[in-house]
Amino acid sequence: MHIAIVGNIGAGKTTLTGLLAKNYGWEALYEAVDNNPYLEDFYGDMKRWSFNLQIYFLNSRFQQIVEIETNKRNVIQDRTIYEDAHIFADNLHEMGLMTSRDHDNYKAIFDNITSFIKPPDLLVYLRASVPTLVNNIQRRGREYEASIRIDYLSKLNEKYEAWIKNYSLGKLLILDKDKLDFTNSPEDLGTVIQAIEAEINGLF
């Protein structure tokens, strides 16, 4: 079983990934953030480093998927390869932060890679408003995220909503993070787990 948690920066993906992995006794696969050699540079100069960053994430995510499909283990994945292309790379291009040449090259690589992989069994989308995202980003205090712009988060949210609206690769569960505090509320976490199990077991 492969469950993927998707959502904007600060939506709570990493937290929920850990909580679900603990609940089910499954493996958690996290986004390669702390060891990413481009992330800090990217937030300092998005236009200069956008292509390098996205290629790094694309390769990292592909390695995760190969591991998932090879080992056949039950996993909870923090962010997917699809977000890299349909959300972040497209948004950077539209904002003028990635050249058309780099974007076309990136999307060609993405299309080639995804023709060989399987989508998640269940995609869990954490929908969160910009104020919720900003609050979470400030609370966790990652230095390299201090310069993230509000308009950047807003555009990413728009991209997420458009992508989720047309998502057709498998089962989809949408959770409203503005109304769910699964970090501090066992009741809210229980609600999330029930909703996930209903989707997995095809109850609705």
Q: 41, 45, 78, 84: which one is catalytic?
A: 78
Compute φ and ψ for 7, nearest 5 degrees. 155, 170
> What pLDDT score does 103 carry?
98
111 is catalytic: no
Largest CA distance in the chain: 48
What are the residues whose beta carbons fall under 8 Å from the beta carbon of 81, sequence distance 6 or more?
58, 61, 62, 65, 110, 113, 114, 117
Question: What letters, b where the CB count within 10 A reaches 16 and e where it falls short, cover 47-73?
Answer: eebbbebbbbbbebbbebbeebeeeee
1 three-state secondary structure? coil
pLDDT, tens only, 151-165: 889 999 999 999 999
Q: Could you give the CA distance from residue 4 to residue 123 in angstroms, rounded to a whole number? A: 5
Read off the amino acid at residue 55. I
What are the residues whose beta carbons fall under 8 Å from the beta carbon of 34, sequence distance 6 or more?
none
Provide the residue-wise pLDDT of the chain in tens; the chain has 204 residues: 999 999 999 999 999 999 999 999 999 998 877 788 998 898 889 999 999 999 999 999 999 999 899 988 899 999 999 999 999 999 999 999 999 999 999 999 999 999 999 999 999 999 999 999 988 887 776 766 666 778 889 999 999 999 999 999 999 999 999 999 998 899 999 999 999 999 988 754
E strand spans, the chain: 2-7, 27-29, 75-78, 122-127, 171-176
Ordered domains of the chain (ranges, CATH): 2-200 (3.40.50.300)
Q: Could you give the CA distance from residue 73 to residue 126 in angstroms, rounded to a whole number? A: 24
Q: Could you give the CA distance from residue 182 to residue 71 in angstroms, rounded to a whole number? A: 29
